[in-house]
Amino acid sequence: MKTLPIQTPGRRPLSALPPLALYVHLPWCLRKCPYCDFNSHEAREEIPQRRYVDALVADLEAALPLVWGRRVHSVFLGGGTPSLFEPERIADLLDAIRARVPLAAEVEITMEANPGTFEAGRFRGFGEAGVNRLSIGVQSFDDARLAALGRVHGGGEARAAVRAALDLFARVNVDLMYALPGQDALAAARDVSIALDLGVRHLSAYQLTLEPNTVFHLRPPVLPDEAQAACIEEAVHGALAAGGLARYEVSAFAVPGEEARHNLNYWTFGDYLGIGAGAHGKLSLPDRLFRQVRHRQPRQYMESALSGDARASEEDIPAQRLPFEFMLNALRLEQGVPPAMFEERTGLGLSAIARALAEALDRGLLDPDPRVLRASELGYRFLNDLVELFLPEEDPPVAGTDVPPAIEQPRARRDASREGGDTVSGSPPGSRASGGRA
């Protein structure tokens, strides 16, 4: 597709900084799933929990000058499988965070968990430590589908974990994947129905995709074809709508009021500080927007963080890239964003995207309502085509993903990622299609 020139004359200093979130990466898991391309590492020996928490605290302290005085509105503990850590270590971590940065009064603190590590007493301890929202990587309630995905839990364990989570936490998300090996539309809708019958009020639904550098990419399973996958997706979305969960983002569904605040911050181009092995962050100062990446390997990360600098890289986001990055995030939202947010979060005037907006409107990809930047029904179906219009002229077309650039690869696929995401491989949580991990 031919991209249009993006005009970026005179970027203005930001008059106010956007909301700030904190992403914390805990990279160990029981077993690497064959579809997973996140920065996760099998725990083949005892996890150095105390040393890793010390490294996270040192990492946070080193970053404080960049966020000094700013209130943190959400915290997300992602992985890996954070629930492998003892509740006492999670308590140590959250206490250290509270002592160093001001948290909003109603701060959302989410932790990813795996049904295969679920013990009621253990998870009660996470709640006592301060976790107030749990995100469970179920992926399916069907034993055969779970075995095909290489998961360490079965359907019974998944049901028990969700029931216990709903008893212990006021807010719970369940991750499901669809278009799995051997799955049809009826089976995918059944997974949704089981979650809804259990009382789930927020659900993230992702299509399984075969990512580079995974076992599935090297030895691909037989997946539903494109037409079958479309039917399966329709069945999943229909079951969610019938159950009262509204779609508010490409792959996120919730009862009104239960939306993930942490993820909404990403999609509205808010700031996030990322600490932990391989974590990515995006931060704003009045005169610059920039990204940071932490060292990827846990051992190297701990050594560098404890030595005072865990950064593997840091780079400014070029002004000509900002329109694409902003729109790639914002257009994922079903309700879009007000045009003023583009100017507030990028420092650019709407004139920077005027030609791209006109082209999108002409092609029927954008809602014509001038009060909102929102994909039309057609644009939501062909989101790649829409967001490509906002690429800088010198950039290659986006092929097959929805990850905000510089966050990882410049990709933009509709089918997004598991909830909470991977600010590790670079995407804001929720932006890649890979499901969870064991």
pLDDT digits (tens, 9 = 90+) for 248-297: 999 999 999 999 999 999 999 999 999 999 999 999 999 999 999 999 99
Has residue 386 got a pLDDT over 70? Answer: yes
Q: Which of 208, 225, 250, 224 is nearest to 381 (CA)?
A: 250
Phi, psi of 315 (to 5 degrees): -150, 145
* Per-residue pLDDT, 421: 52
Q: Are 430 and 36 in contact (CB under 8 A)?
A: no
Q: How does strand 288-294 pair with strand 103-113?
A: unpaired
Q: How far apart, in whole angstroms, are the C-alpha atoms of residue 428 and residue 58?
A: 23
Q: Is the pLDDT of residue 210 over 90?
A: no
User: 40: closest CA among 275, 279, 292?
Assistant: 279
Per DSSP, 413 falls in state -
Tell which residue, 437, 419, 421, 438, has the closest CA to residue 429: 421
Question: Is the sign of the CA dihedral 144, 148, 153, 159 positive or negative?
Answer: negative
Handedness of CA 101, 104, 105, 110 (dihedral sign): negative
Among 423, 392, 431, 400, smallest CA distance to 78 is for 423
Q: What is the DSSP letter of 220?
A: P
Under the banding of pLDDT at 50, 70 and 90, the label for residue 31 is confident
Output the pLDDT for position 10: 63
Closest by CA to 15, choosing from 326, 428, 341, 324, is 341
For residue 314, CA distances in Å to 37, 160, 280, 404 come to 22, 43, 10, 16
| pLDDT band at residue 41 under the 50/70/90 scheme | low
Cα separation, 202 vs 215, in Å, equals 30
**DSSP assignment, residue 419?**
T
Cα end-to-end distance, the chain, whole Å: 39
Over residues 158-180, the mean pLDDT reads: 96
| Among 109, 127, 115, CA closest to 169 | 127
Q: Are 1 and 388 in contact (CB under 8 A)?
A: yes
Tokens of 405: 């650039």
Tell me the whole-structure pTM to 2 decimals: 0.90
* Window from 1-5, 132-136, 421-425 with minimum mean pLDDT: 421-425
**What are the residues facing 247 on neighbouring strands?**
253
Instruction: Answer for the pair 170, 110: CB distance below 8 angstroms, yes or no.
Output: no
Q: Are 32 and 42 in contact (CB under 8 A)?
A: yes
Q: What tens digit of pLDDT does each residue of 223-246 get?
A: 999 999 999 999 999 999 999 999
- The per-residue pLDDT for 249 is 97
For residue 408, pLDDT over 50 is answered with no
Of 96-110, 113-127, 366-380, where does mean pLDDT reach its minimum? 113-127
**Among positive and negative, which fits the CA dihedral 135, 411, 423, 328?**
negative
Q: Taking residues 320-344, what's their average pLDDT?
A: 97
Domain limits, the chain: 20-265
Q: What is the model's pLDDT at position 163?
A: 96
**Is residue 333 a contact partner of residue 358, using CB atoms and an 8 Å limit?**
no
Provide the CATH number for the domain formed by 20-265 in this structure.
3.20.20.70
Helices (H), 130-272: 143-148, 155-168, 185-198, 215-218, 226-242, 261-267
Nearest alpha-carbon partner for 320 in 1, 2, 4, 66: 4
* Amino acid letter, 325: E
pLDDT digits (tens, 9 = 90+) for 107-136: 999 999 999 878 889 999 999 999 999 999
Name 282's bridge partners: 272, 291
- Is 14:347 a contact under the CB 8 Å cutoff? yes
Which residues, in sequence order, are bridge partners of residue 273? 22
